[in-house]
Chain A
Amino acid sequence: MTLLQPGLRQMTVGSILLFIVFLAAWQWAPGALGIPPFIVPSASEVWQEFLRMLARDRLLYHTGITAMQVGVGFVLGVMLGIVCGFVLGMSPTAEFVLSPYILALQIAPKVAFAPLFIIWFGYTVYPKILVCILIVFFPVMINVLGAVRALDPDIVRLAKSFTANRFQVFWKIEFPAAMPPLFAGLRIASTLAVIGVLVGELVGGNTGLGYLLTFAEGAGETGKVFVTIIMLTLIGIVLYGLVVAVEARVLHYLPARARLNT
C-alpha cells in the first residue's frame, strides 16, 4: 500500500512544487519566448495590475456584485431544481406531460436568454440572476428526478408497511435518498453559476466583473482581463468549496471510496 500510495505529505509537497514551477514559467516564459505583454503579461505584471485595479477600478466592489449575483442565483436555482425534481419524480404524469418542454429548455443554450432578460428587466441585477437560476436549475433537477426514480420501490413499501404517510415517505426515505445525486448536481451547478452571471454582465450593465472584462477588452488591457478571469475563477472556487464542505457533512455516511476527493 505505502509503495503504491505516496503519503499525504509527499503529495502536498508535490502540489506546492508544481505551483511554484507554474508561477515561474508564467513569470519568465513569455519574455524568453518573445511574447509581448499585451498578449500574455507575466505573473508579476498581473499582480501589479491587480493592485492597481483594487485602488482605481473598485475591483472588490465589482467582485462583490458578481459574487452576490452568483450566490443569489445559485441558491434560488438550486431550490427551484430540488422542488421540480421531487415533484416530477413523484408524479410520472407530470413528467410525461412536461418532459418535451423541459427537454427543449434544457437543450436551448441558457446564455442566449441573457439579451432577452435584459430587454425585460434592463441593466439591473435581475437578468444576471435569472440566467444563473436557469443554468443552475437543470443539473439539480435532473439529478433529483433521477434519484427519486432510481429509489428501490421496496424501500417505500417497507416504510408504508410501517404505516408511513405520504409526507413520512418523502421526509424519511425519498429526501435523504436523493442527497448523493443532489450533491453531484450541486457540484456541476456551482461551476455553471459563475458562467450564468458572467454572460449576463457581458451582455449589458455597468457593474460586476463581466463589465470590467468588456471594459478591459475595449481598452486592450490584457492585464486587467487576466485579473478579472482570476477573480471569476476564485468566486467559482469558493462556491465549489462550499458545496464540497456541506457535502462532506451531509454525506459523511458514504464509504470513503464512494466519496470524491475534490
Chain B
Amino acid sequence: MTATPRLEFRNVTKRFTNRRQGTTVVAVEGVSLAIADGEVVSLIGPSGCGKSTLLNMGSGLDPASEGEVFVDGELVTRPNKHVAFMLQKDLLLPWRTIVENVELGQEIQGLSRGERRQRALELLAKCRLTDFVDHYPHQLSGGMRQRAALARTLAVEPTVLLMDEPFSALDAQTKMVLQQDLGRTLAETRKTALFITHDLVEAIALSDRILVMSQRPGRIIEEIAVEIDGRDNPMTRRQHPKVAAYITRLMNLLQIDQAAA
C-alpha cells in the first residue's frame, strides 16, 4: 500500500488523569493502525478497553497524550470536516424535524439552505425515511431514528466515518436491517469506516478487517482479515460457512470462555 491511508494512528497513547485522586489511568497504549481508502475496519475488544477513546481521538475531540492521528495525511488537532461520527445514541435534536436534524452538520459547516435540503432529502430517501422528513424524532421508532442519524452523518460528506456501536441499542431484527443498509451505503459511496462493536457477527459481516484489542490499557493484539466476499451484502455474508471459524478465533482472542468459567 503506497497510497496515504485515510485514517492513521501512529503509536497513540491516551492517559486520563484524575486530579482529585491524583491517579492516572492509561486508556490506550501504543496503538498504531492504518485504514486505507474505502476500507471498513471493525474494532473489537472487552468493555473499557479504550475503543471509544480511540474514536474520540480520531474525530479530533480529544487530543492524544502521545503519538499522532492523521486523516488523509493531515495531523488531526481538532474536529475537521473529513471525519464524522455516529454513536449508539441517535442524538437527534427533539426540536428539529428529521430533515432539519439531517441538515445539522451541513448547517454548522455553512452550506446554503437549498443545497443542504436537497442533499438531506436524497439521503433520507436512501434511508427509506421519505415519508417521515417532517416528523419529529419522538414520532419515529428506534431503528428509524438510527437511520436518520446515519443520514445526518453522511450528509456532511465525510471521507471517514467513525461509528461507536451504532446499532447496539436496537433489537436483533432491526439491527440486521440497519447493518444491511450500512453495508450497502458504505460500498456504494466507497466510504472509509472505523466501526466499534461488541457483536462478533456484526464485525465479521460488515468489515474487511477486524482489529482485536486487549484489556486496559488497550493495545491491538490481533488483526484479522475477513476473507469473505460480498461486503456490500452483510445479510448474506453473515450466513457464510466461514463465519463460524472467525467467531471461534475471536472468542479465543477475547478469552470469552474464560470469563464465563
Contacts and interface: CB of A to CB of B under 8 A. Distances in A.
B2 interface: no
A38 B215 CA distance: 83
B104 A161 contact: no
A162 B152 CA distance: 10
Interface in B199-239: none
Interface stretch (B77-85, B186-194, B250-258): B77-85
B108 A154 contact: no
Contacts of A254: 94
Contacts of B94: 253-254
B37 to A, nearest CB: 21
B156 A152 contact: no
Interface in B94-119: 94-97, 104-105, 107-109
Contacts of B59: 161
Interface string A161-187: 111100010001100110100000000
B108 A168 contact: yes
A158 interface: yes
A161 B61 contact: yes
Given A172-B107, A172-B108, A255-B138, A161 B85 contact: yes
A160 B61 contact: yes
A152 B105 contact: no
A161 B60 contact: yes
A161 B91 contact: no
Nearest to B138: A255
B246 interface: no
B247 interface: no
A172 B104 contact: yes
Contacts of A259: none
A176 B95 contact: yes
A157 interface: yes
A162 B61 contact: no
B90 to A, nearest CB: 10
B198 interface: no
**Of listed A154, A163, A254, residue having the most chain B CB within 10 A:** A163
A11 interface: no
Given A152-B89, A154-B89, A253-B136, A162 B84 contact: yes
A115 to B, nearest CB: 44
Contacts of A173: 93
A32 to B, nearest CB: 54
A155 interface: yes
A163 B84 contact: no
B182 interface: no
B61 A163 contact: no
**Of listed B84, B91, B136, residue having the most chain A CB within 10 A:** B91
A162 B95 contact: no
Nearest to A179: B95
Contacts of B87: 154, 158
A173 B96 CA distance: 11
Contact of B61 (A152, A155, A157, A168): A157
A158 B109 contact: no
B91 A155 contact: yes
A162 B79 contact: yes
Contacts of A253: 94-97, 136
Nearest to A169: B108
A216 interface: no
Contact of B104 (A154, A159, A179): A159
**Of listed B85, B107, B108, residue having the most chain A CB within 10 A:** B108
Nearest to A164: B108
Contacts of A159: 104, 108
A215 B156 CA distance: 68
A176 B91 CA distance: 14
A152 B91 contact: yes
Interface string B146-181: 000000000010000000000000000000000000
A161 B95 CA distance: 20
Interface string A132-162: 0000000000000000000010110111111
**Of listed B96, B104, B107, residue having the most chain A CB within 10 A:** B104
B136 A158 contact: no
Contacts of B93: 155, 173, 176-177
Interface of B: 56, 59-61, 78-81, 83-85, 87, 89, 91, 93-97, 104-105, 107-109, 136, 138-139, 156
27 contacts: A152-B89, A154-B89, A154-B91, A155-B93, A157-B56, A157-B61, A158-B85, A158-B87, A160-B61, A161-B79, A162-B84, A162-B104, A162-B105, A162-B108, A162-B109, A162-B156, A163-B79, A163-B80, A163-B81, A164-B108, A168-B108, A172-B108, A173-B93, A176-B93, A176-B95, A253-B96, A253-B97
Top 6 closest A-B pairs, CB basis? Answer: A162-B105, A162-B108, A164-B108, A161-B79, A176-B95, A161-B59
